[in-house]
A and B are shown apart, each in its own frame.
Chain A
Amino acid sequence: EVQLLESGGGLVQPGGSLRLYCAGSGFTFNSYAMSWVRQTPGKGLEWVSVISGSGGTTYYADSVKGRFTISRDNSKNTVYLQMNSLRAEDTAVYYCAKNTEYTSGFYMDWGQGTLVTVSS
């Protein structure tokens, strides 16, 4: 059974940094791209970033480009989202999702989400 467990969320001041973690199990971790998707309170879903199975290819939403960095450690079955220069509009539940392919594909499996609140 695929399991994705996010952690690292919390309250941070505007301009601050936070690192999110997503630990995967139940599948061959390095064979699949991994993504982050966020949902602002009471609003819809927004795709944030993706990293390929090897970590060699990454993509970002324009809204986070230059501020967020996605990475992975396949020896630890973990994907990270380093979030810098945080803004109030980054406040959201951040979900980790497993792609169905090495670099692309759809999202069959999701974590439970971790809440990030950017506020002074």
Chain B
Amino acid sequence: DIQMTQSPSTLSASVGDRVTITCRANQSISSWLAWFQQKPGEAPKLLIYKASSLESGVPSRFSGSGSGTEFTLTISSLQPDDFATYYCQQYNSYPYTFGQGTKLEIK
């Protein structure tokens, strides 16, 4: 199984900050990586697919990069609505696997 490791687990930041979350796979997944945002009591929401493709309707302050085993999600200027938990997920092969999540908190 492909293991996905996210860092950091928790991130404290302020409105307007630029933040980056990292996701590493223990083997190459090419660009078959998605990023999700989840708020309490809600289903995950797709932000990014194929490592860097922005899902329709997602603000352009979100961006993704990387390929192979190392990936990043960047939020260029944090907005109040962005404080949530973020997950990466590989869909290169089954079983699909998720990172453990990064909780983005208000500083």
Contact = CB atoms under 8 A, between A and B. Distances in A.
Answer whether A and B are interacting partners. yes
Given A45-B87, A47-B95, A50-B94, A113 B55 contact: no
A102 interface: no
Interface in A70-120: 95, 100, 104-108, 110-113
Contacts of B38: 45
Contacts, number: 56
Interface string A43-78: 011110010000000011110000000000000000
Interface of B: 1, 32, 34, 36, 38, 43-46, 49-50, 55, 87, 89, 91, 94-101
Given A47-B95, A108-B49, 19 more contacts: A44-B100, A45-B36, A45-B101, A47-B96, A47-B97, A47-B98, A60-B95, A62-B95, A95-B44, A104-B94, A105-B91, A106-B91, A107-B36, A107-B44, A107-B46, A107-B89, A108-B46, A110-B44, A110-B45
